[in-house]
Chain A
């Protein structure tokens, strides 16, 4: 539905109202509106300020460890017997995932805006850890809202956040997952709007968040594109990333959007299958609606009530998706496919065994799709999978799924 006209470039959004076609926007309470306008103004100044760029560049290099490697996954490639598979190693960043890219950028913005306190929401805990990390580094008090279910299944990350000096507030509303954590973070923000910076972790929420998170994450795709040109002398045939809110995916995809020969695939959490309600495939099984400040594809019932969804991966357990993905879906530029819990679990184990890399369960969804398509591709074709994070945090979940006690 709502198929937009084919644009000359897929990289020019959002428009001045923060819209990607019909998606995006600023659906927030009036209390937050002046703040969001201020953030937009500050962001527009910062992104063209050489000093801001230099400070971020310096932190990215010496603190986060960028550029991350583009690694030829020879073991997986041999095992699958088709195209050459490369991993973009965001798991090697400081804090173990791509989340640090966005947190470093936003903490510098918070500093410019003179804020005194940081709040964040987290699902898997990756963004919570990255937020707590930059808050510690820059000396800010930090409160992280996390669904109670996620607190239980991601306990190592909860402990890391506490060590870093953050306060983790479990949220028991709903299913106690990312959606509920985001509601509670918004309630905190509306209450403490004067001194608080809301460090949103994914490319969703009210404008300008989807844009600025994308821009901070686009370093993934920019590096990967240049690295592939250097290592193979040409662009990849296929790039794949997992999509929860979609920040690692938009970060990888955005620099490739106008490379029309590069096939781009986003992977949604198929959970226990798309027939029931136990999945988080909003773009495959939801419809457009308004939640958390933006219009986007959402899992919802006929009355417009938001459903909770399910995924084995806490980071993908969200009933919505960033608005730019919704637009890319409708425009047909990016293809979005579901991967089931079991398929992700299999990819997790295979990657661990043949590559000696324990991937995050989120990233395992992207690898699982590669496992489906790579064997059917030619040996001289090239695939990049975004290895968005490392899987140490998931070993408890995986052990439980495999019926083991650790």
Chain B
């Protein structure tokens, strides 16, 4: 069974360029604004959307995404509303893949079966759940695969060759390579090391490999995109939203426009990746 992710990745492969994967926090700073940001993403050149599910205790995230999650929760965001947001987006765009990203507890409390049914109905294509390693596959990964939802695993610099097969075993859609040992938004690791890691992972799987954590500029996106099948940008986008919010959370400019400007630049970087590599 192919998903929107499989189709999109195949299309980009035929075009000979990597995917631009953009992360936004669902409900940041409020539902309507967040939906308008989400709608602006494909128009600005995003190929795949990662929609963050806010959680009170995001243990793998740096200060920017922590703050975004708190803004969203303060704005009344819940998992149910994040799913609603996806389905409203989906009504106007049946092609752009949506991957939900977050932590397990809100899903566990929502109920795994109910969550998968509602996610599927909302047009969700994949899941990234940070605190569910392969050892916990029975919790959500296996049920998700049965329901036809991709389960995208994180591989990290600590995932050695011995462990990689276990990490890749039930992974589908793409593999998300975390560029460094650290939290989201840290400084980007040495790009030569990242490139070597991507090659190493590709030796174990035919799945596309996307690289994230630390990619902030079009130039970085271009360099990473030369070897990876996709580049994930999160913190820089979340910061673009934060930058147009005043001290009391009031909007000083249109967040959707701020994000669109940033994403357009990143899209150019990604689109020139292979051209540059070929030179």
Chain A residues with CB under 8 Å of chain B are: 17, 25-35, 173-174, 179, 183, 186-187, 190-194, 287, 289-293, 295, 298, 300, 302-306
A-B contact pairs, 26 of them (CB 8 A): A25-B136, A27-B104, A27-B132, A28-B131, A30-B167, A31-B156, A31-B158, A34-B159, A34-B160, A174-B57, A179-B57, A183-B57, A183-B58, A183-B59, A190-B182, A190-B183, A191-B182, A191-B183, A192-B181, A291-B57, A304-B106, A304-B107, A304-B109, A305-B106, A306-B57, A306-B105
Count class of interface residues, chain B: 35 or more
Known: A30-B154, A30-B155, A191-B182. A302 touches B131 (CB 8 A): no
B59 near A17: Cβ-Cβ < 8 Å:
no
**Interface presence of B145 (CB below 8 A):** no
With both chains docked as a complex, state the minimum distance between the C-beta of A212 and any C-beta of chain B, in angstroms.
17
**Which residues in B have their C-beta under 8 angstroms from that of A26?**
133, 135-136
Of residues 92 through 111 on chain B, the ones whose CB sits less than 8 Å from some CB of chain A are 103-110
A31 to B105, CA, bound (A): 19
B79 near A303: Cβ-Cβ < 8 Å:
yes
A186 near B181: Cβ-Cβ < 8 Å:
no
The chain A residue sitting closest to B107, CB to CB, is A304
Contact of A30 among B57, B109, B156 (CB under 8 A): B156
B158 near A305: Cβ-Cβ < 8 Å:
no
Instruction: Give 10 new A-B contacts, CB below 8 A, not counting A29-B130, A191-B186, A290-B131.
Output: A25-B135, A27-B133, A30-B154, A30-B155, A183-B57, A183-B59, A187-B60, A192-B181, A291-B57, A306-B57
B133 near A30: Cβ-Cβ < 8 Å:
yes
**Which residues in A have their C-beta under 8 angstroms from that of B106?**
303-305
Known: A29-B59, A31-B156, A31-B158. A17 touches B135 (CB 8 A): yes
**Interface presence of B55 (CB below 8 A):** yes
A91 to B186, CA, bound (A): 42
B56 near A305: Cβ-Cβ < 8 Å:
yes
The chain A residue sitting closest to B156, CB to CB, is A31
Of residues 121 through 164 on chain B, the ones whose CB sits less than 8 Å from some CB of chain A are 130-136, 153-160, 163
A303 near B109: Cβ-Cβ < 8 Å:
yes
**Interface presence of B9 (CB below 8 A):** no
**Which residues in A have their C-beta under 8 angstroms from that of B135?**
17, 25-26, 33
With both chains docked as a complex, state the minimum distance between the C-beta of B235 and any C-beta of chain A, in angstroms.
14
The chain A residue sitting closest to B129, CB to CB, is A27
**Which residues in A have their C-beta under 8 angstroms from that of B66?**
173
Known: A289-B105, A292-B59, A303-B106. A33 touches B186 (CB 8 A): no
A289 to B178, CA, bound (A): 26
**Interface presence of B78 (CB below 8 A):** yes
- Helix, strand, loop or mixed for chain A's interface? mixed
**Interface presence of B73 (CB below 8 A):** yes
Q: Which of B104, B106, B133, B182 has the most CB of A within 10 A?
A: B133
Known: A26-B133, A30-B167, A303-B79. A194 touches B181 (CB 8 A): yes
The chain B residue sitting closest to A32, CB to CB, is B158
Contact of B154 among A29, A179, A193, A302 (CB under 8 A): A29
Listed from nearest, the 4 A-B pairs whose CB atoms lie closest are A304-B109, A304-B106, A191-B182, A305-B56
Q: Which of A193, A291, A303, A306 has the most CB of B within 10 A?
A: A303
**Which residues in B have their C-beta under 8 angstroms from that of A27?**
104, 131-133, 136
A34 to B164, CA, bound (A): 11
With both chains docked as a complex, state the minimum distance between the C-beta of A188 and any C-beta of chain B, in angstroms.
9
A289 to B130, CA, bound (A): 15
**Which residues in A have their C-beta under 8 angstroms from that of B159?**
30, 33-34
A290 to B109, CA, bound (A): 9
Of residues 57 through 86 on chain B, the ones whose CB sits less than 8 Å from some CB of chain A are 57-60, 62, 66, 73, 78-80
The chain B residue sitting closest to A186, CB to CB, is B59
**Which residues in A have their C-beta under 8 angstroms from that of B160?**
34
Q: Which of B73, B130, B135, B159 has the most CB of A within 10 A?
A: B135
Known: A187-B59, A190-B182. A30 touches B153 (CB 8 A): yes
With both chains docked as a complex, state the minimum distance between the C-beta of B159 and any C-beta of chain A, in angstroms.
6
**Which residues in A have their C-beta under 8 angstroms from that of B183?**
187, 190-191
**Which residues in A have their C-beta under 8 angstroms from that of B108?**
289-290, 295, 304
A28 to B134, CA, bound (A): 10
A35 near B158: Cβ-Cβ < 8 Å:
yes
The chain A residue sitting closest to B61, CB to CB, is A187
The chain B residue sitting closest to A187, CB to CB, is B183
The chain A residue sitting closest to B108, CB to CB, is A290
B109 near A289: Cβ-Cβ < 8 Å:
yes
A304 to B73, CA, bound (A): 11
A173 to B63, CA, bound (A): 10
**Which residues in A have their C-beta under 8 angstroms from that of B130?**
29
Of residues 159 through 176 on chain B, the ones whose CB sits less than 8 Å from some CB of chain A are 159-160, 163, 167
Known: A29-B59, A31-B156. A300 touches B109 (CB 8 A): yes
The chain B residue sitting closest to A298, CB to CB, is B105
**Which residues in B have their C-beta under 8 angstroms from that of A305?**
55-56, 73, 106
**Which residues in A have their C-beta under 8 angstroms from that of B58?**
183
**Which residues in A have their C-beta under 8 angstroms from that of B182?**
190-191
B181 near A191: Cβ-Cβ < 8 Å:
yes
Known: A29-B133, A33-B133. A303 touches B78 (CB 8 A): yes
A287 to B134, CA, bound (A): 25
B56 near A193: Cβ-Cβ < 8 Å:
no
With both chains docked as a complex, state the minimum distance between the C-beta of B30 and any C-beta of chain A, in angstroms.
16
Q: Which of B110, B155, B181 has the most CB of A within 10 A?
A: B181
**Which residues in A have their C-beta under 8 angstroms from that of B59?**
29, 183, 186-187, 190, 292
A183 to B105, CA, bound (A): 15
The chain B residue sitting closest to A288, CB to CB, is B108
**Which residues in A have their C-beta under 8 angstroms from that of B103?**
290
A185 to B178, CA, bound (A): 20
